Copies of this chain bind each other. A is one copy, B any other.
Amino acid sequence: MPQSKTSRFSARASKESIESGLVFQPKFDAEGLIPAIVTDAVTGEVLMFAWMNAESLALTIEKGVGHFWSRSRGSLWKKGEESGNLLRVAELRTDCDQDVVWLRVTVEGGGVACHTGQRSCFYRSVPLGPAPHNDLVKSPSRPRPGR
């Protein structure tokens, strides 16, 4: 189980408390995971999407560096630990239902967030219009100011 046995976070309360209150009470799914959206703190570009368990969320908040749960490896994953492309967190937000988190980050090292070597994982777009929807087109990352 990816969820740690003792939750580090507040228990879920009423819908009103979750939506309007100022108590952090993140919701983990049946696998003990919460989705995490990662964007560039300057450009707003979505860099990657991953999952966190309670331990990786707590580490991310405590250290200010992105930690996740690797579903393929079944283990804690400190992003960039080997490559040097650590995610330095400028801000961590949650949504109305507190079942998603959003990290605004600066990518350290080479500035590369994707394992393919691209800055962002989202390097292809789907042309809009009638079916069939079979094709992708390359959609280059936006350059960061000053780089």
Contacts and interface: CB of A to CB of B under 8 A. Distances in A.
Contacts of A23: 134-136
Given A37-B49, A45-B44, A96-B118, A91 B125 contact: yes
B96 A116 contact: yes
Number of this chain's copies in the assembly equals: 2
B22 A58 contact: no
Contacts of A62: 128-131, 133
Interface extent on A, as a size class? Answer: 35 or more
Nearest to A118: B96
A133 B54 CA distance: 11
Contacts of A19: 116
Contacts of A64: 128
A124 interface: yes
29 contacts: A8-B132, A8-B133, A10-B134, A22-B137, A23-B134, A39-B46, A43-B44, A44-B44, A46-B46, A46-B102, A49-B100, A57-B133, A58-B131, A58-B133, A61-B128, A61-B131, A61-B133, A62-B130, A62-B131, A89-B128, A91-B139, A92-B125, A93-B124, A94-B122, A94-B125, A94-B126, A94-B136, A96-B118, A96-B123
